[in-house]
Amino acid sequence: MASKNLLLLAGDGIGPEAMAEVKKLIAAMNAKLGSGFTTDEGLVGGCAYDAHGAAISDADMEKAMAADAVLFGAVGGPKWDKVPYEVRPEAGLLRLRKDMELFANLRPAICYPALAASSSLKQEVVEGLDILIVRELTGGVYFGEPKQIIDLGNGQKRGIDTQVYDTFEIERISGVAFELARTRRNHVTSMEKRNVMKSGVLWNEVVTQTQKARYADVKLDHMLADAGGMQLVRWPKQFDVIVTDNLFGDMLSDIAAMLTGSIGMLPSASLGAPDVKTKKRKALYEPVHGSAPDIAGQGIANPIAMIASFAMCLRYSFGMVDEADKLEGAIAAVLDDGLRTKDILSEGMTEVGTVAMGDAIIAKF
Amino acid sequence: MASKNLLLLAGDGIGPEAMAEVKKLIAAMNAKLGSGFTTDEGLVGGCAYDAHGAAISDADMEKAMAADAVLFGAVGGPKWDKVPYEVRPEAGLLRLRKDMELFANLRPAICYPALAASSSLKQEVVEGLDILIVRELTGGVYFGEPKQIIDLGNGQKRGIDTQVYDTFEIERISGVAFELARTRRNHVTSMEKRNVMKSGVLWNEVVTQTQKARYADVKLDHMLADAGGMQLVRWPKQFDVIVTDNLFGDMLSDIAAMLTGSIGMLPSASLGAPDVKTKKRKALYEPVHGSAPDIAGQGIANPIAMIASFAMCLRYSFGMVDEADKLEGAIAAVLDDGLRTKDILSEGMTEVGTVAMGDAIIAKF
Ligand SMILES: CC(C)[C@H](C(=O)O)[C@@H](O)C(=O)O
Ligand SMILES: CC(C)[C@H](C(=O)O)[C@@H](O)C(=O)O
> What pLDDT, in 10s, does the model give residues B158-205?
999 999 999 999 999 999 999 999 999 999 999 999 999 999 999 999
Question: Average pLDDT in the B82-96 region?
Answer: 96
The C-alpha atoms of residue B152 and residue B135 are separated, in whole angstroms, by 35
Q: Is B159 on the interface with A (CB under 8 A)?
A: yes
Question: Average pLDDT in the B99-107 region?
Answer: 98
Among A112, A250, A282, A316, which one carries the catalytic annotation? A250
What is the residue-averaged pLDDT of chain A?
A: 96
> Is residue A291 a known part of a binding site?
yes
Q: Supply the pLDDT for residue B113.
A: 85
Which residue type is seen at B170? I
Q: What's the whole-model pTM score? A: 0.96
Task: Indicate if the pLDDT at residue A266 is higher than 90.
Answer: yes
CA atoms A248, A249, A251, A256: torsion sign: positive
Fold agreement between B1-108+265-365 and B139-259 = no
> Is residue A16 a known part of a binding site?
no
Q: Could you name the CATH architecture of B139-259?
A: 3-Layer(aba) Sandwich (3.40)
Residues of chain B with pLDDT > 90, as a percent, come to 95
Cα dihedral B227, B196, A265, A181, rounded to 10, equals 110
Q: Supply the pLDDT for residue B271.
A: 98
> Could you report the per-residue pLDDT of A20-69, keeping only the tens digit for each?
999 999 999 999 999 999 999 999 999 999 999 999 999 999 999 999 99
Q: Domain spanning B1-108+265-365: which CATH class is it, in words?
A: alpha beta
> Could you report the per-residue pLDDT of B7-27, keeping only the tens digit for each?
999 999 999 999 999 999 999
Task: Indicate if the pLDDT at residue B268 is higher than 70.
Answer: yes
> Could you report the per-residue pLDDT of A152-176, keeping only the tens digit for each?
999 999 999 999 999 999 999 999 9
CATH topology of domain A1-108+266-365: Isopropylmalate Dehydrogenase (3.40.718)
**In chain A, which residues have their Cβ closer than 8 Å to the Cβ of B122?**
120-122
Q: Which of B121, B227, B250 sits opposite A121 (nearest CB)?
A: B121
Domain ranges in chain A are: 1-108+266-365, 130-259
In Å, how far from its chain's centre is CA B160? 27
Q: Supply the pLDDT for residue A1.
A: 59
Which residue type is seen at B207? V
Which residue type is seen at B266? L
Residue A221 catalytic? no
Q: Supply the pLDDT for residue B263.
A: 83
Residue A250 CA to ligand 1 centre (angstroms):
6
CATH superfamily of domain region A130-259: Isopropylmalate Dehydrogenase (3.40.718.10)
Residues of chain A with pLDDT > 70, as a percent, come to 100
Q: Which of the listed residues A196, A201, A248 should we mutate to test ligand 2's pocket, taking the one with most ligand atoms within 8 A of CB?
A: A196
Which B residues 48-107 touch A at CB under 8 Å? Answer: 76, 85, 88, 90, 94
The C-alpha atoms of residue A57 and residue A51 are separated, in whole angstroms, by 9
Would the CB atoms of A152 and B162 count as touching at under 8 Å?
Answer: no
Among A58, A166, A217, A226, which one carries the catalytic annotation? A226
Residues of chain A with pLDDT > 90, as a percent, come to 95
Q: Phi and psi dihedrals of B107, rounded to 5?
A: -125, 95
